[in-house]
């Protein structure tokens, strides 16, 4: 018996030695230190399922993430797996920085477990090429509305059949003036992408040429932007941006200063924090324009990508697959961010019964629609963010709504500027 036991122990030791000797290490970078402990728990679980893989987790503050990871890319030292933005898929794929994972997706992923439209945004060339990243969360703009204000005005709540006329009628009745001053605006917007683009796509419009290389808003996009700016300049149901100085844009609605607002679903978290029990509020799909479809939405995912330089592509795929689906838990998501992995998104817990908004299930319905966005190389420049703050489409629309420029002047200016930017990226 003793001889048998020694042999068994020897075999166990040999197996353990072999496992350690064959162990590889993957580096994973992500951009949300606030959930580091939860991600580490997921990694611990992954390592227990894959004893031959060790994962080194690095979390970086969002404001520093892209600076640091671009340095790693420029020195060919990218981590094996890392978080990736929809806005950079085209640029990073074109530079050969991301691993083409199409063959893994084809053979090792059950697509029915995911909101499939999201994968179109991970393709290079755009919408038609191979897949270069796995979506793990997505967001879409919605119409936030103050139920208490609607009740007081005797209005029915917005629904999926709402059009521009329904919206404008409500905005006019919700704009409350006392002694010549506005006590409550019907709506709030400025030139921000999440305030503008959802209306354009829900009116059948496009901002870019078919090849996505030129700023070329079509007539539906022009009509939409004109309608939105008129909410401030003509209908006077929304304030000028310059008159809201001192208030964070994301706080105008939850502070009760405006009764409606279109912005990203991730604002649910901030709304809950600021509104508390002061008033009831809900969400609805963005109203459909006269030339649009209610089956189209503006949306984009956050993703996990694999470095093209990784020495362990199969193991990196296993990690990326785990961190975009079965390895995640709902407590890793801020309210309003939707898991790409449907078993998680469609769980009862996601709906958060008893919390505002009561209509959170609308987000899951919108996930079945066609998703569009306008990300290109140089997007932040022509749209007017980062170093280009105040320029681009953002600055042009703000100038119109602030009464500093006509709509026609703004369009001429942004056409010239945006196409000058895009021509640098698409030569």
State the pLDDT at residue 228.
98
- Measured between alpha carbons, how far is 287 from 399 in angstroms, rounded to an integer? 24
State the pLDDT at residue 312.
98
State the pLDDT at residue 1.
46
| Helix (H) / strand (E) containing 419 | helix 407-425
Sign (positive or negative) of CA dihedral 402, 408, 411, 414: negative
Which tokens go with 15? 């197996």
Nearest to 359 by CA among 336, 331, 340: 336
- Measured between alpha carbons, how far is 369 from 162 in angstroms, rounded to an integer? 17
Question: For the chain, which ranges sit under pLDDT 50?
Answer: 1, 4, 18
| Helix (H) / strand (E) containing 364 | helix 361-366
Nearest to 68 by CA among 105, 10, 29, 34: 29
Q: What is the DSSP letter of 286?
A: P
Hey, how many other C-beta atoms are within 10 angstroms of the C-beta on 389?
A: 11
Cα-atom radius of gyration of the chain, to the nearest Å? 24
Helix (H, G, I), strand (E, B) or coil at 33: helix
pTM of the model: 0.90
State the pLDDT at residue 385.
87
- Measured between alpha carbons, how far is 133 from 100 in angstroms, rounded to an integer? 8
- b/e per residue 350-369 (b: at least 16 CB within 10 A): bbeeeebbbbbebbeebbeb
Helix (H, G, I), strand (E, B) or coil at 15: helix
- Measured between alpha carbons, how far is 377 from 407 in angstroms, rounded to an integer? 26
- Measured between alpha carbons, how far is 161 from 363 in angstroms, rounded to an integer? 16
State the pLDDT at residue 139.
96
Q: Give me the residues paired with residue 284 across strands.
A: 143
- Measured between alpha carbons, how far is 52 from 317 in angstroms, rounded to an integer? 14
Q: Give me the residues paired with residue 84 across strands.
A: 303
Instruction: Please report how the helices 193-201 and 219-233 are oriented relative to each other, as an axis angle in degrees rounded to 10.
Output: 130
Q: Which residues contact 83 (CB under 8 A, 6 or more apart)?
A: 29, 30, 31, 65, 302, 303, 304, 305
**Where do the DSSP E strands lie in 235-354?**
260-264, 281-284, 296-298, 300-306, 338-339
Please name the residue that has the structure tokens 């004109």: 226
* DSSP per-residue codes, 271-282: HHHHHTTSS-EE
- Measured between alpha carbons, how far is 226 from 360 in angstroms, rounded to an integer? 30
- Measured between alpha carbons, how far is 217 from 215 in angstroms, rounded to an integer? 6
- Residue 184 near residue 175, CB atoms below 8 Å: yes
Tens digit of pLDDT for each residue in 283-313? 999 999 999 999 999 999 999 999 999 999 9
- Residue 71 near residue 89, CB atoms below 8 Å: no
- Measured between alpha carbons, how far is 200 from 372 in angstroms, rounded to an integer? 10
């Amino acid at each position: 018996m003793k001889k048998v036991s020694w042999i068994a122990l020897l075999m166990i030791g040999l197996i353990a030695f072999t496992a350690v000797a064959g162990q590889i290490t993957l580096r994973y970078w992500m951009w949300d230190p606030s959930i580091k402990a939860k991600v580490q728990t997921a990694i611990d679980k992954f390592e227990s399922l894959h004893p031959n893989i060790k994962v080194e987790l690095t979390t970086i503050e969002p404001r520093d993430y892209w600076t640091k990871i671009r340095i790693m890319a420029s020195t060919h030292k990218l981590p094996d797996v890392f978080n990736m933005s929809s806005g950079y898929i085209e640029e990073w794929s074109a530079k050969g920085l991301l691993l083409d994972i199409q063959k893994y997706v084809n053979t090792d992923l059950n697509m029915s477990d995911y909101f499939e439209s999201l994968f179109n945004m991970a393709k290079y060339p755009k919408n038609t090429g191979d897949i270069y990243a796995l979506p793990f969360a997505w967001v879409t703009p919605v119409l936030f509305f103050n139920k208490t204000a609607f009740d007081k005005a005797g209005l029915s709540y917005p629904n999926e059949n709402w059009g521009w006329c329904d919206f404008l009628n409500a905005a006019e009745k919700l704009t409350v003036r006392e002694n010549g001053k506005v006590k409550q605006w019907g709506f709030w917007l400025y030139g921000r992408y999440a305030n503008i683009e959802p209306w354009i796509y829900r009116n059948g419009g496009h901002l870019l040429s078919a090849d996505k290389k030129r700023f070329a808003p079509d007539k539906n996009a022009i009509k939409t932007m004109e309608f939105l700016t008129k909410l401030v300049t003509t209908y006077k149901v929304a304030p000028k941006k310059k008159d809201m100085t001192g208030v964070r844009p994301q706080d105008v609605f939850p502070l009760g200063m405006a009764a409606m607002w279109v912005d990203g679903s991730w604002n649910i978290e901030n709304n809950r924090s600021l509104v508390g029990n002061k008033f009831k509020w809900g969400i609805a799909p963005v109203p459909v324009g006269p030339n649009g479809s209610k089956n189209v939405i503006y949306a984009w995912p956050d993703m996990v990508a694999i470095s093209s330089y990784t020495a362990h592509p199969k193991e990196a795929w296993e990690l990326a697959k785990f961190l975009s689906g079965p390895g995640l838990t709902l407590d890793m998501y801020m309210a309003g961010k939707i898991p790409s992995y449907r078993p998680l998104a469609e769980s009862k817990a996601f709906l958060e019964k008893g919390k505002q908004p009561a209509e959170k299930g609308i987000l899951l319905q919108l996930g079945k629609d066609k998703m569009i966005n306008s990300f290109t190389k140089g997007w932040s420049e022509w749209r007017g963010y980062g170093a280009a703050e105040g320029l681009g489409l953002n600055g042009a629309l703000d100038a119109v709504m602030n009464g500093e420029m006509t709509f026609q002047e703004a369009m001429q200016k942004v056409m010239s500027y945006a196409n000058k930017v895009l021509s640098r990226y698409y030569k």
